[in-house]
Chain A
C-alpha cells in the first residue's frame, strides 16, 4: 500500500462511518501496524533539529575539562571578537534566582542538595560542567568561538569512588556539607535479625551495578523562542509539561505564556526525563537577545552531560533454610549519584527498595540506601530506574544461593514464589503487589526452553572448547506512576502527584482527537491509545488522532517515564472515552425514546439492546451534539470530555526470562546465542508493540551486562565519551528473540493492564550474568560482576585457575 493509499483508506473509512456503515470493533488486542510509521519511514517526521526559525541563532557551551576545580578567571574577549558571535555569557550574567530543580523531599530524611546553576558559579564539579554559553549566527562558528573562551582553573582534589568518598579525609565535592553523603534512606519489614538467626545458610555478595547511559540515538536538542512576552520551547524531552512548569518558575514567565513542544523525540530511555541546563539556558538567552536560540547536543556532549543511570555497589546478605526457604534478605546500597542532583537523582536508588522482595515470600526484607556525591555527572532514571538494580542483585544472588544449597536455581525460585494472587498481595515491606502468577510465567518459559537439553549441549560444546551456560531471571517490578497518595509529599516525598489526563474530542463529522498528557518518544501511543478509544466509541483507530507533547493543545499532564503511559495515561483515555460514550448513549436514548441504560455500542452503532439495526453511529451522535441539537432537554451541546485519573495502586508486571550464552575461554568473549522471554503485562492492547518493547528492553540489559559502561578514571576524566568507547550492541552481536506472554489482569485499572517499557531491561542483566557464571563454573568461576567484557571474563577464568592474570 502506498502512503497515498493509506490516506485514501482513512478517508474511505471515515466516509463509511459517517454514512452509517458499521466500523469494525474490538481493535484492542490486535497487532495493528503503527499510525506513526508513514512519516518516520519516509523521512518526513520533525525532530527538534529539523525545525528552524527565522532569525535563529546557535548556542554552544564551554565545558570544564577539569573534574573538580576553582574557576580563577574567564576571558571571553577573544570569543566575543569573532565575527557572528552575538553574546558570551558566564554565571555573573545570569539573572536567575535559582538553579536546576530537584523534586524529592522525603519526610524525616535530610538530603544534602547543592545549588546547581545553569552556568557554574566559582567552581566546577565534574567534567563537562558548563562555564560559559556562546550564542552566534552559525552552527559551526559558535563552536569555534567556544574554543576561544579562555578559562583559568585551579584544580582541586577529585573523588570518583563512592566508598572512598564516604571515608574520613576524602576530598569533598561540596565543602559546605562537610561530607559527601547525600542521605540515608531505608525501607524494610519483618524481623531481619530473627530471619538470619533462623537461617541454616547465610551468603553475602558484593554486587556492582555499574554506570550506564540512556543512549537514545537522537541526541538532545533545544530551540527556544521568546517573542513578545511569550516563550515557546521545542525540546527533545520526555517531560514537556514539567519543563513548562520549571521554565515558568525559573524565568519568571507565567505559565500560560510558556509553551513547550516535544516534537518527534528520538528515544529517551529516561535520559530525557529531566530539566537540563541547556533547556533553561537557551530559553533565557532567547529572551536576552530577542532571537530564537538553538542548541543541538553532540554525542560526546551527550555521553558527558545527559544523565547517567545505575552506579551502585550493593552488599547483599541472604539467609535461607537448608530446604531453600528464604528467611531474611538485607541489601545495603551505596549509590554514586555524581556531583549534583537533577530532577529525580536521589530518589532513584530508593526505588530499588520497593521491589526488593522480588517474586518471593521472604518474611524479612530490608533495603538501606546511602547516596554519595562524587565528581561525575549526576545519575537519574535510566530505563528501569532502581528496579533493574534490585532485580539484578536479587536474581544473581538467588543463583548464588542455589549453588550454595546444591539446589537447582529454578527449584529454589519455585520454593519461594509468592503463590498466585489476583487482588493484592502485601509484602512485608508494605508494598501491595496488584496481581501475579509467577509459577505460570516460569512454566510457560519452560514450554519454550529445556534447561536439561541446554546443559547437554553445553557438555558436548565443551569438548570443542566452547563454554555454554544458561541463566534465568524471574522478576516483578513496580510501574504505573503513580498513586499520588503513595508517591506524593506525605508518602515517598515526591513534590507532586502521579495522575494522568486525557481529553477525547469528537469532531462534528465523527472523527476523534485524543489529547494525552503522556509524551511518547517511540512507544507507539498514537496507535495503542487510538485502539483503546476506537473500541469505546465504535469507530476505527484510523479515525482517532492522538495528540501529545504540546502544552498548548491539551490539559496539563505528567508525561512519560517509569512505564506509566498505558496503565495511567491509557486508562485516562479509556475513562474520557467512556464519558463520551455515556453522553452519546444519553443522546441516542433521547432520539430512540429509550432508556440510556438500554443503549449499547454494537458493531459501530449505539443502539437499543436487542434492536441492533436501529442505531446511531458516533458521527450521527456528533451531528446531533454540535449541529442539529437533537438532545435531551438541558444537556450541554458538544461531545468533548476530559478525565484526570489518579490510580489506587501501582501495577506490577512480571515474567521469566532465559538466556543462553557461549563463552570462549581463550578470549573471554561472551556471545548471547538464545533468549526466551515470557512477560506478563496484563491483557495486550497491541501485542506487536509489547514485543517491540521487550526486544529493545532486553538489548538495553544485554548491553549493560556485556558491553556498556560509563567509565571515569581516577582523575574524573570520562574515558567513554563517544560511541567508539561506549559500546552499544549492534545487530551482529545479538540473536533474534523468542517472546511469549501470560496475561494476568491487573485489578487496578479498567484496562487491566500493566506497563512493559522497562520489563525487558529489568529482567535481562541477571539472566546474562547467571548464564555466564553457569558457563564458567566448570572452570571454577563462582561469581563475576558486570560488565562481562572479554577482559573481565578472561581475568576471572585466570583467577579461578589459581593464577592472577599478568
Chain B
C-alpha cells in the first residue's frame, strides 16, 4: 500500500474524515470505507453507470473520480436520495412501473434519472432515452425504466402544484 492522504467526504449530509491512498476510487471509498453499498460497480470503463451518484447536485460516475477529488464536495448517493422511510418519486415510479429486475443498475439509473430531471423536469421520451444512454441495463430493455422516468416527471410536476396542506402529489 502506498502512502495515504487525508480527505473529507461529505456524503448525504454527513462529514467523514478518511485517510486514503491517492489512487482510491470514489466508488470504493463510498462502498468499502463508508459502507454505502447501494452504489455499484459494473465495468472498468465508465460505460455502465451503475456507480452514478451526485456531486454538487450533478450526476457523476463515481468510478471515474478519485476519492481525493471529492474532497469537500457535497455528495449524494442512493441511500441519501430520499429522507428516511420515504421514497423519492423516481423510486416510487421504478417500483410501480417494474423499472427494475435484478436491481443492480437501478441505484445508478435512478441517480442518473434524478440528474436528468433536475436539468429537464419535463423531458420527452426521446430526451429520457438519450439522457440515460450512459447507464446500461441488461434486464429491462429500458422500456419500463423510460416509462418510470416519464411517470416520475409527471408526478413531480403534480407535487410542485400540490396544495400547501402537504398532500403528496405522488400516489402509489
B78's closest neighbor in chain A, by CB?
Answer: A43
The yes or no answer to A688 lying at the interface (CB within 8 A) is yes
Chain A residues whose C-beta falls within 8 Å of the C-beta of B45 in the assembled complex: 299, 722-724
Chain A residues whose C-beta falls within 8 Å of the C-beta of B146 in the assembled complex: 731, 736
A527's closest neighbor in chain B, by CB?
Answer: B98
Determine if A42 and B91 form an interchain contact, defined as CB atoms under 8 angstroms apart: yes
Least CB distance from B119 to A in Å reads 16
- B50, B92, B128, B140: the one contacting A692 at CB < 8 Å is B140
Determine if A217 and B98 form an interchain contact, defined as CB atoms under 8 angstroms apart: no
Determine if A138 and B39 form an interchain contact, defined as CB atoms under 8 angstroms apart: no
Given contacts A522-B139, A699-B142, contact A217 B129 (CB under 8 A): no
- A44, A724, A736: the one contacting B38 at CB < 8 Å is A44
A40 vs B92: C-alpha distance when bound (angstroms)? 12
Within residues 27 to 73 of chain B, which ones have a CB less than 8 A from any CB in chain A? Answer: 28, 31-32, 36-45, 47-48, 50
Determine if A730 and B133 form an interchain contact, defined as CB atoms under 8 angstroms apart: yes
Determine if A267 and B104 form an interchain contact, defined as CB atoms under 8 angstroms apart: yes
- A218, A265, A737: the one contacting B42 at CB < 8 Å is A218
Given contacts A140-B23, A299-B45, contact A218 B102 (CB under 8 A): yes
A296's closest neighbor in chain B, by CB?
Answer: B41
Determine if A266 and B104 form an interchain contact, defined as CB atoms under 8 angstroms apart: yes
Given contacts A695-B144, A699-B141, contact A43 B102 (CB under 8 A): no
The yes or no answer to A141 lying at the interface (CB within 8 A) is yes
Chain B residues whose C-beta falls within 8 Å of the C-beta of A216 in the assembled complex: 102, 104, 138
Chain B residues whose C-beta falls within 8 Å of the C-beta of A218 in the assembled complex: 40, 42, 102, 104
Least CB distance from A571 to B in Å reads 22
A45 vs B100: C-alpha distance when bound (angstroms)? 13
A723 vs B136: C-alpha distance when bound (angstroms)? 10
Determine if B140 and A41 form an interchain contact, defined as CB atoms under 8 angstroms apart: no
**Count of A-B contacts with CB under 8 A?**
195
- A41, A698, A736: the one contacting B110 at CB < 8 Å is A41
If over half of B's interface residues share one DSSP class (helix, strand or loop), that class is named, otherwise mixed; here it is loop
Determine if A732 and B139 form an interchain contact, defined as CB atoms under 8 angstroms apart: no
The yes or no answer to B115 lying at the interface (CB within 8 A) is no
Determine if A40 and B87 form an interchain contact, defined as CB atoms under 8 angstroms apart: no
Chain B residues whose C-beta falls within 8 Å of the C-beta of A722 in the assembled complex: 43-45, 47
A731 vs B145: C-alpha distance when bound (angstroms)? 9
Residue in A41, A49, A298 whose Cβ sees the most chain B Cβ within 10 Å: A41
Stretch of A1-9, A342-350, A504-512 contacting B (4+ beta carbons < 8 Å): A1-9
Determine if A737 and B44 form an interchain contact, defined as CB atoms under 8 angstroms apart: no
Interface readout for B80-116 with A: 1 if CB under 8 Å, 0 if not?
0010011100011011101011111111001000000
A521 vs B24: C-alpha distance when bound (angstroms)? 30
A269's closest neighbor in chain B, by CB?
Answer: B138
The yes or no answer to A696 lying at the interface (CB within 8 A) is yes
A524 vs B85: C-alpha distance when bound (angstroms)? 23
Given contacts A40-B106, A217-B42, A218-B42, contact A267 B139 (CB under 8 A): yes
Given contacts A2-B85, A37-B95, contact A731 B132 (CB under 8 A): yes
A2 vs B83: C-alpha distance when bound (angstroms)? 10
Least CB distance from B95 to A in Å reads 5
A299's closest neighbor in chain B, by CB?
Answer: B43
Determine if B103 and A522 form an interchain contact, defined as CB atoms under 8 angstroms apart: yes
A40 vs B79: C-alpha distance when bound (angstroms)? 11
Residue in A2, A3, A699 whose Cβ sees the most chain B Cβ within 10 Å: A2
If over half of A's interface residues share one DSSP class (helix, strand or loop), that class is named, otherwise mixed; here it is loop
Determine if B94 and A37 form an interchain contact, defined as CB atoms under 8 angstroms apart: yes
Determine if A692 and B144 form an interchain contact, defined as CB atoms under 8 angstroms apart: yes
Chain A residues whose C-beta falls within 8 Å of the C-beta of B129 in the assembled complex: 730-732, 734
Determine if B107 and A523 form an interchain contact, defined as CB atoms under 8 angstroms apart: no
A1 vs B171: C-alpha distance when bound (angstroms)? 7
Within residues 521 to 560 of chain A, which ones have a CB less than 8 A from any CB in chain B? Answer: 521-524
B47's closest neighbor in chain A, by CB?
Answer: A723
Determine if A734 and B138 form an interchain contact, defined as CB atoms under 8 angstroms apart: no
Given contacts A2-B86, A266-B104, contact A731 B43 (CB under 8 A): no
Chain A residues whose C-beta falls within 8 Å of the C-beta of B100 in the assembled complex: 37, 40-41
The yes or no answer to A700 lying at the interface (CB within 8 A) is yes
Chain B residues whose C-beta falls within 8 Å of the C-beta of A723 in the assembled complex: 43, 45, 47-48, 136
Chain B residues whose C-beta falls within 8 Å of the C-beta of A30 in the assembled complex: none
The yes or no answer to B16 lying at the interface (CB within 8 A) is no
Interface readout for A751-781 with B: 1 if CB under 8 Å, 0 if not?
0000000001000000000000000000000
- B47, B95, B104, B125: the one contacting A33 at CB < 8 Å is B95
Chain A residues whose C-beta falls within 8 Å of the C-beta of B42 in the assembled complex: 217-219, 266, 299
- A38, A298, A730: the one contacting B44 at CB < 8 Å is A298
A524 vs B95: C-alpha distance when bound (angstroms)? 12
The yes or no answer to A439 lying at the interface (CB within 8 A) is no
A141 vs B28: C-alpha distance when bound (angstroms)? 14
Determine if A217 and B137 form an interchain contact, defined as CB atoms under 8 angstroms apart: yes
Given contacts A699-B141, A723-B47, contact A217 B104 (CB under 8 A): yes
B84's closest neighbor in chain A, by CB?
Answer: A4
The yes or no answer to B164 lying at the interface (CB within 8 A) is no
A436 vs B138: C-alpha distance when bound (angstroms)? 29
The yes or no answer to A161 lying at the interface (CB within 8 A) is no
Within residues 220 to 278 of chain A, which ones have a CB less than 8 A from any CB in chain B? Answer: 264-267, 269
B134's closest neighbor in chain A, by CB?
Answer: A730
A34 vs B91: C-alpha distance when bound (angstroms)? 13
The yes or no answer to A170 lying at the interface (CB within 8 A) is no
Given contacts A43-B78, A730-B136, A731-B142, contact A139 B32 (CB under 8 A): yes
Within residues 629 to 681 of chain A, which ones have a CB less than 8 A from any CB in chain B? Answer: none
Chain A residues whose C-beta falls within 8 Å of the C-beta of B133 in the assembled complex: 730-732
Q: A219-B42, A522-B103 are in contact. List 17 more A-B contacts (CB 8 A).
A: A37-B103, A38-B95, A41-B94, A41-B103, A41-B107, A41-B110, A42-B78, A45-B103, A138-B1, A139-B28, A140-B23, A217-B48, A269-B138, A299-B45, A724-B45, A730-B133, A732-B129
Can you identify 27 A-B contacts, CB atoms within 8 angstroms? A33-B95, A37-B94, A40-B103, A42-B79, A42-B82, A43-B38, A43-B107, A52-B32, A140-B23, A217-B102, A267-B102, A267-B104, A267-B139, A299-B45, A522-B139, A524-B101, A692-B139, A692-B140, A692-B144, A695-B140, A695-B141, A700-B138, A723-B45, A730-B133, A734-B143, A736-B147, A737-B141
Nearest first, the 6 A-B pairs at minimum CB distance are A43-B38, A266-B104, A522-B102, A40-B103, A695-B141, A699-B141
